[in-house]
């Protein structure tokens, strides 16, 4: 009888440890926590063009692999406008830049959303440059990092960009 109770208790303890182990395998809450830091935009004026530059740093592990990671640009204006969106990242050891996106976008409406998905290994930080031509108008821009299936973020990060006139 004492032997049977010992075997039962031992099997019960093993079963509890197995359940905890399986639950930890399927728990997605602490897998791929993504934390980012967005710097304040730096504005620059060259001739008639206005440029806003800012960076996104990965907090914690500096190297990350992103698959269809959405970066969203929202532009609002009373008039039509033209902008160039550049997204690039730097390699921490070399001073070379890898350009992900370099696109001129013309908007004819009062507001527009532009999504740039990133599918790459980012070794250091992402640099973003927005350039406007004031002949077309001064838009207000909002930059946003959205969460996706591979990256669990506590909240979506946004940055407001108001070009100086």
Please give the Cα distance from 129 to 83 (Å, whole number).
Answer: 10
Per-residue pLDDT for 13 more than 90?
A: yes
Task: Tell me if the pTM is above 0.75.
Answer: no
Ramachandran bin of 5, using left for φ above 0, alpha for ψ from -120 to 50, beta for the remaining angles: alpha
Please give the C-alpha separations between residue 93 and each of 76, 79, 96, 97, in angstroms, as whole numbers.
Answer: 38, 43, 9, 11
> Percentage of residues in the chain with pLDDT exceeding 70?
68
Tell me the CATH architecture of domain 36-162: Sandwich (2.60)
Ordered by start, the domain boundaries in the chain are 36-162
Please give the Cα distance from 47 to 153 (Å, whole number).
Answer: 40
Question: Residue 112: what pLDDT?
Answer: 67
Q: Provide the pLDDT confidence category of residue 65 given band limits of 50, 70 and 90.
A: low
Question: Residue 16: what pLDDT?
Answer: 92
């Amino acid at each position: 009888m004492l032997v049977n109770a010992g075997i039962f208790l031992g099997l019960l303890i093993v079963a509890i440890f197995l359940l905890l182990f399986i639950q930890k395998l399927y728990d997605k809450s602490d897998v791929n926590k993504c934390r980012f830091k967005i710097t304040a935009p730096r504005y620059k004026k060259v001739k008639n063009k206005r440029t806003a530059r800012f960076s996104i740093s990965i907090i914690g592990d500096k190297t990350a692999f992103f698959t269809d990671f959405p970066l969203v640009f929202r532009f609002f204006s009373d008039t039509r406008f033209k902008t160039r969106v550049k997204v690039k990242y730097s390699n921490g050891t070399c001073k070379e830049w890898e350009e992900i996106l370099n696109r001129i976008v013309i908007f004819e409406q009062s507001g527009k959303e532009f999504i740039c998905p990133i599918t790459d290994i980012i070794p250091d930080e992402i640099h973003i440059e927005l350039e406007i031509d004031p002949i077309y108008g001064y838009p207000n821009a909002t930059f946003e990092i959205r969460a996706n299936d591979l990256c669990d973020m506590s909240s979506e990060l946004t940055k407001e960009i108001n070009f100086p006139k």
